[in-house]
Structure 1
Amino acid sequence: MTRLKPIRLKVLSQDDIRYLQKRGLPEIGSIRKTVMEIVENVKLKGDAAIIEYTKLYDGVELNHKNLRILREEMDVAYSMLDGTTLEAMEFIRSNVEKVCLGLLPENRLIEPVKGLRIYVVWKPIDSIGVYIPGGTNPYPSTILMTVTLAKTVGVRRVIVCTPPKNIKPIVLAAMKIAGVDEAFRVGGAQAIAAMAYGTETIPKVDKIIGPGGPYVEVAKRLVYGDVGIDLPAGPSEILILADESADPALIAADLLSQAEHPYASAILISTSEKLALEVSKILDTSADSLTLESFERGGLFIADSLEEAIEFINMYAPEHLEIMLKNTEEALEKIRNAGSIFIGPLTPVALGDYATGVSHVLPTHGAARFSSGLNPLHLMKDLTVQIADEEGFRMLRRFAEIMARVEGLEMHYNALKIRSTLIGL
């Protein structure tokens, strides 16, 4: 579907809507078999499979010795940073840390009945594996927005896997700034399998976080259960909701900023036909073959009302949602599903991608219906500690005994009853 020409939302067919919901990407089933084979081979062969797949998919010859990125490599890369870049990266790390600290959950004491205390205690996960995608461009910002979170909440061991062609000085320097404990030259589904099951060189972790392409996302789903995962964070998406008050040049620039990512989706929904046409004219002269593909997976749409636009947004659940309306309050109250929301002309997604301190690892492919962007809770777990005294046990025992009998679990009933006999309760 060619989308540079604006069309009305109401004329979309059910097939059109399903296409948009799938982001115009292939069904997972089409690559699942390949990814399963990669995962199983890494489980069986360890480093040998990693080396084999790195040569096949990345065209890079590795061996057991250079799979690991040395601390000295990070130190040298850091020393080569110019002052301006170093200042920017240190600021981003600091801002991510500040936002993280503001989001940390608090330990709590709950006393639902007299004689019963329930403590909720938050603990960091022991070990985290971070996947950093590679490709045409390096992503040092993703290191800062993932590793910094993990280190701030107190994760003991944070490892990073990234494709070998992504190992550029700026990436290595970001690893040092963020405080990476170990890092490895491996990308794709094989990296996810290595962190999930461990190899001779790459340690097994408790949870894997970070964005990636379709193969990485499928691999994360396959290993879930053997290891934790954060959220579905695949190819980039942007949806802009705008009315006649918005600047078409800013809208076009923001759509293109995400459309330049591989496999991205870009959508404008406007209540103003005039604005949509103006944006279309700008894109006609600005979009290249890569960004055009992103509009093929999305498009420019006209809504007859704000209600129609919001209904579509909640169904689509975009990763990034920009709102450029004269009155944002009404829309904010009704929007339920979005990875992160950016309000007004001075808060483009690109600002959040780098500098606001909110992690740019966000749910994609409609996962914002049930998932939040990467935050401290993804890197922690809550332990509930339950303590009953005599008064609490006496009161609660009767109800527990009734339910044990109802469910026919005699040993449960006995564990309760024996305390009455032995302790005299």
Structure 2
Amino acid sequence: MNPAIEGGIVLVVTLLVLLSGAPVAFGLGAIALVFIAVFEGFGALNVAAETFYGGLNDFTLVSIPMFVMMGAAIGSSPAGRDLYEALDRWLYRLPGGLVISNLGACALFAALTGSSPATCAAIGRMGIPEMRRRGYPDDVATGSICAGGTLGILIPPSITFILYGIATETSIGRLFLAGVFPGLMLTGLFMLWTIFLLWKRGFRAYAADFRYTWKQKFESIPKIAPFLAIVIGVMYVLYGGVATPSEAAGVGAALCVLLAIMIYRMWRPTDWWQILRDTTRESVMILMIIAAAVLFGYMLTSLYLTQTLAQAIAEMEVNRWVLMFMINIFLLVCGFFIPPAAVILMTAPILLPIITAAGFDPIWFGVIITINMEIGLIHPPVGLNIYIVNSIAPDVPLTRIIWGTIPFVLCMMLEIVILCIFPEIATWLPTYLMGPGT
């Protein structure tokens, strides 16, 4: 059968299975096994177990459950509440200060956990009710938390960057560094839009008789400072070449757990159980998707589908920026329907030779693909962050939440355009600190 026809059949079946709501790992694995058996015979299935195991036989993968545990220890503690309160006390007098505080808290909590859903849930539970109580519009209150939560996969340490690094065999340390300035820039764009919108609507930022004293401001710092110090320390040893990602993640996870116990007195077995349960659940999900995606990739390669696709794109003879535009549209559509981890593991190995042949930096492209995945997190039908926020504020119509996220989606698209014009925003820091190379 013609590879183009085979590829079309695989694409249609894959979309139908993933859109059916089936678990991503089991869906990808089943598709791979069925198509290997159909097109190559049942004898070819003897490599399935070895390929599945090979997808997990990488020491770098140890960093995933460690970073997940690091985030779970912080997410299960009141650290998010303290972070939110600290920023609110310092920023409450700015125009739209409470929204700015929430976005800042999301950015910092993202650096602590590396998880978008955790960031959205932790900050949203405190921020949304408080913003609504102070009279902020519902679309601003909910949309800002949806958007702020997406920073969890862009600001390092990021699970998404780890998955991209593993799938494309690029440096995870460089990817982390490449996400720093784009993450800060995107946070700034969110804040600027919020200030402009509230100013345009004539919204007052604070009550004239409401003040925090300097004592109250400084009282909010001690509890969150140790956690921020751990993140800075992990980044230092990772970027400075002192430790590997797995070693840095292990030490960071251990220290975060110890701080959660010491600062928040999380001694009870139920507290430990929640941390271990959340870590195990998310880690197993991610690792199963990785293994299934490797098996799925093996199926695509063995049927010559990836090679055919790459060759077809290479023969299109279009301008490389037209090619990048098409890739971004493709990633956006995938992100609308499929979780970020699955999109990256399925598409990154296929797209890498295409973008490198076109002269694009794979580290820079890792940031671009991550921002596309951020858009998918706040865009239906999957839009995980939208549903998390809707569960926090069930009386706000889902359509109002979605409309509140649209300006932030446009901010993300603007950031992609800016990064295309000025790729050094992503590539300068890793090159400066770690030298040239990938």
TM-score by length of 2: 0.27
Which structure features the higher share of strand residues? 1
Larger radius of gyration: 1
TM-score by length of 1: 0.28
Which structure features the higher share of helix residues? 2
Relative contact order higher in (CA < 8 Å, ≥ 6 apart): 2
